[in-house]
Amino acid sequence: MTDTLRQRVSRVIAGGAHALLDKIEDAAPVAMLEQSVREVESIADEVRGELGRAVANRHLAQQQHLNLNKEHEQLGASINEALANSREDLAKPAIARQIDIEAQLPVLESSLADLAAQEKELTGFVDALMGKKREMQAAIRDFEQSRKNAESASVRGTGAATPVGAKLQAAQSAFDRTYQRQTGLDAAGRGASLEQAAKLKELGDLVRENKINERLAALKAK
């Protein structure tokens, strides 16, 4: 994982969603925060790409380690056979190859350890980014609900539209424009496209709930 990507992940995780809302309250906050959510998703996709490469490289290293160990074992049998037939001339090249393999194995083992650590780090970054995404989405919901509550209170008090209501409508319009620009779908068709996303979210929530239950069981077992 590059230092630049690691820094971007750290910056996103360190940022406060509600603090961001406070700063951009007068500039289509929902649309702005939705853009931040997309930034989190984009970075998460990059991290997943790095994770995929780390997993693939670890698999290749494991396969090479297995093949070399298998070859070393086969060479040992061949060496014994050559010596049994007094063919030291055949045993020597096999022994030389064994020595070469023995020099490579520690390097491969070190690489495997590094790749396993990298895979663990990247998996943690993906989990952290998804947690930040949930935080931002909750901030959007909180913001929208607070504006709806304020609008309802103002309407009950005056019986007419208010600047707060106009601001909410403007924020919603900005959100819809941003959504259409980023996805190519209009606001009316959003539900259909989000149905699949909702199912994926449900799956993600299930995995997260299982992690929580496992952590709870481990703590209770102590």
**CATH code at 62?**
1.10.287
Same domain for 137 and 79:
yes
pLDDT-derived band of residue 218, with 50, 70 and 90 as boundaries? Answer: confident
H-state helical runs in 85-189: 88-158, 163-183
Instruction: Give Cα separations from 190 to 18, 47, 185, 215 (angstroms).
Output: 25, 27, 7, 36
End-to-end CA distance of the chain: 35
- The whole-angstrom separation of Cα 139 and Cα 151 is 18
Same domain for 221 and 179:
no
pLDDT, residue 187, reads 47
Is residue 100's pLDDT more than 90? yes
Which domain range does residue 199 map to?
190-222
Same domain for 216 and 161:
no
Same domain for 10 and 69:
yes
pLDDT-derived band of residue 59, with 50, 70 and 90 as boundaries? Answer: very high
Same domain for 116 and 42:
yes
Instruction: Give Cα separations from 52 to 1, 32, 36, 45, 220 (angstroms).
Output: 11, 30, 24, 10, 34
Instruction: Give Cα separations from 171 to 9, 128, 136, 140 (angstroms).
Output: 28, 28, 16, 11
Same domain for 127 and 25:
yes
Which range (15-29, 86-100, 174-188) has the least confidence?
Answer: 174-188
Same domain for 125 and 216:
no
Instruction: Give Cα separations from 61 to 66, 67, 111 (angstroms).
Output: 9, 10, 7
b/e 108-123 (16+ beta carbons within 10 angstroms → b): beebbeebeebbeebe
pLDDT digits (tens, 9 = 90+) for 4-51: 877 878 777 766 555 555 555 455 666 777 777 888 888 888 889 989
Is residue 160's pLDDT more than 60? no
Which range (41-45, 112-116, 140-144) has the least confidence?
Answer: 140-144
Same domain for 213 and 127:
no
Same domain for 207 and 157:
no
Provide the percentage of residues in the chain whose pLDDT is more than 90: 31
pLDDT, residue 115, reads 93
pLDDT, residue 135, reads 80
What single-letter amino acid sits at 92? K
Mean pLDDT of 159-186: 52
Same domain for 93 and 75:
yes
Minimal CA–CA distance to 50: which of 109, 9, 107? Answer: 9
Is residue 118 a contact partner of residue 54, using CB atoms and an 8 Å limit?
yes
Average pLDDT in the chain: 76
Same domain for 84 and 22:
yes
Is residue 144's pLDDT more than 90? no
Is residue 161's pLDDT more than 60? no
pLDDT, residue 142, reads 77
Name the domain count of the chain. Answer: 2
Is residue 147's pLDDT more than 80? no
- Which range has highest mean pLDDT (44-53, 94-103, 182-191)? 94-103
Minimal CA–CA distance to 128: which of 7, 35, 3, 9? Answer: 9
Instruction: Give Cα separations from 205 to 38, 59, 198 (angstroms).
Output: 19, 28, 10
Which range (44-48, 148-152, 182-186, 198-202) has the least confidence?
Answer: 182-186
Same domain for 49 and 96:
yes
pLDDT, residue 9, reads 81
